[in-house]
């Protein structure tokens, strides 16, 4: 099997031959191959999961004397996994503030399923907040019993009419008398014992119930398709020569020498323009956070090659000073796999090792904390 990699072919096919089908999508790679005498043209697209694969197909087209017709399309999904910490608050109401009763009303683990993230959250027993749900006025009876002994008679006037308890004044409500045994000193004089009962109705403020606020914490994950690689294959057949119309001979149909001479520099200028466009096609993109989770905003594009694997952010106005993401396009990432890439800015430079792949290379780091590897990652998030 013989492969012919042609960057210039890819450029022409993207601008001209793909005009009827692919819309704004440009192929990452175009390959023409001869497999056992069968000519094939293969286009590779790396697109978002929302892209319709039928929009990448083209109607039959002519190239280098062959007519290419769509044969089939293959699909390869690239998944991404994102993990984050989540804390949820749950409130329950109970009649008592007893911890055992409250824990019976709370689940030890609750499920989490929001915005594509799923997982389980665990109850934090040390973070329970118990508060009264409300208060109401309640009534009760406050009593006190006192015993008075060695009284000369059973006269209630000898008993105090009231007493104090818990800051409240309780009136005398009842007295029970008992005759005591006579003493040896004065056996003929009876003595009495009085049991005095004091009572009063009181009011107090009582809780109507209790509200307990609990916190559940844990890590949740979001796994989904980040990008899709579509490989569109066309088979080629020799094109049949078009029949020439029978036109009477005329000297006016002969080519004019001046037009022939002018077409040579025009073709050369067109070729030069195409080559310049190829050289200026950017293959490095720089992003900064957009303010939404896992969402990045494009701020600059660069062109570099394997001989000079670096970019200079000092040319960006304003120069970023926080989190930065650098994306190498797939072709460049494959050429620089396991090599060092350098990012320069106003206060220094950052070096990292490129991980080549079919989907390119994505690297994030903090300029203001460049020496902290905890802020470096190769996981590509969403881009706006």
pLDDT on residue 84: 92
pLDDT on residue 12: 47
Q: How many CB atoms lie within 10 A of CB 361?
A: 24
Q: Does residue 47 have a cis bond before it (omega within 30 degrees)?
A: no
Q: CA-to-CA distance for 146 and 284, rounded, in angstroms?
A: 95
pLDDT on residue 223: 82
Q: How many CB atoms lie within 10 A of CB 380?
A: 20
The shares of helix, strand and coil residues in the chain, as percent rounded to the nearest 5, are 15, 50, 30
pLDDT on residue 375: 63
Collapsed DSSP state (helix, strand, coil) of residue 39: strand
Q: How many CB atoms lie within 10 A of CB 321?
A: 14
Q: CA-to-CA distance for 282 and 331, rounded, in angstroms?
A: 11
pLDDT on residue 152: 82
Q: Cβ(8)–Cβ(30) under 8 Å?
A: no
pLDDT on residue 120: 94
Q: CA-to-CA distance for 39 and 255, rounded, in angstroms?
A: 35
**Full-model pTM:** 0.35
Q: Name which of 364, 306, 365, 367 is nearest 331 in CA terms.
A: 306
pLDDT on residue 21: 42
Q: What is the largest CA-CA distance in the chain?
A: 171
pLDDT on residue 89: 93
pLDDT on residue 16: 45
pLDDT on residue 187: 65
Collapsed DSSP state (helix, strand, coil) of residue 178: strand
Instruction: Say if residue 214 is exposed, middle or buried (CB neighbours under 10 Å; 0-12, 13-18, 19+).
Output: buried
Low-confidence residues of the chain: pLDDT under 50: 1-8, 10-12, 14-23, 250-260
pLDDT on residue 90: 94
Q: Cβ(92)–Cβ(214) under 8 Å?
A: yes
pLDDT on residue 47: 93
Q: How many CB atoms lie within 10 A of CB 363?
A: 21
Q: Cβ(29)–Cβ(35) under 8 Å?
A: no
pLDDT on residue 253: 43
pLDDT on residue 138: 77
């Amino acid at each position: 099997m013989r492969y012919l990699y042609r960057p210039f072919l890819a450029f022409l096919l993207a601008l001209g031959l793909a005009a009827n089908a692919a819309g704004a999508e440009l192929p990452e790679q175009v390959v023409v191959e001869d497999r056992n005498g069968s000519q094939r043209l293969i286009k590779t697209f790396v697109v978002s999961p929302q892209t319709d694969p039928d929009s990448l197909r083209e109607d039959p087209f002519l190239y280098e004397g062959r007519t290419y017709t769509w044969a089939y399309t293959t699909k390869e999904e690239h998944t991404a996994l994102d993990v984050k910490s989540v804390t949820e608050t749950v409130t329950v109401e109970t009649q008592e503030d007893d911890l055992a009763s409250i824990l019976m009303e709370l689940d030890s683990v609750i499920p989490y399923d929001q915005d594509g993230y799923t997982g389980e959250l665990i109850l934090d027993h040390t973070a329970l907040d118990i508060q009264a749900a409300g208060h109401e006025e309640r009534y009760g009876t406050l009593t006190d019993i006192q015993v008075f002994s060695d009284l000369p008679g059973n006269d209630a006037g000898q008993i105090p009419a009231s007493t104090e308890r818990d800051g409240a004044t309780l009136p005398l409500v009842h007295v029970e008398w008992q005759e005591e045994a006579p003493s040896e000193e004065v056996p003929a004089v009876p003595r009495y014992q009085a049991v005095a009962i004091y009572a009063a109705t009181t009011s107090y403020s009582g809780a109507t119930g209790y509200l307990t606020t609990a916190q559940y914490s844990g890590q949740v994950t979001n796994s989904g398709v980040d990008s899709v690689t579509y490989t569109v294959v066309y088979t080629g057949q020799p094109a049949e020569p078009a029949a020439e119309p029978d036109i009477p001979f005329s000297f006016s149909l002969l080519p004019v020498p001046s037009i022939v001479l002018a077409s040579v520099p025009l073709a050369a200028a067109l070729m030069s323009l195409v080559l310049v466009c190829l050289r200026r096609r950017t293959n490095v993109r720089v992003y900064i956070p957009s303010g939404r989770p896992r969402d990045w905003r494009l701020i600059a594009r660069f062109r570099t090659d394997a001989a000079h694997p670096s970019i200079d952010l000092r040319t960006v106005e304003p120069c970023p000073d926080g989190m930065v993401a650098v994306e190498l396009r797939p072709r460049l990432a494959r050429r620089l796999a396991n090599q060092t890439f350098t990012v320069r800015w106003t206060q220094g430079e950052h070096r990292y090792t490129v991980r080549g792949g079919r989907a390119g290379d994505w690297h994030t780091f903090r300029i203001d904390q460049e020496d902290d590897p905890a802020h470096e990652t190769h996981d590509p998030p969403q881009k706006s």
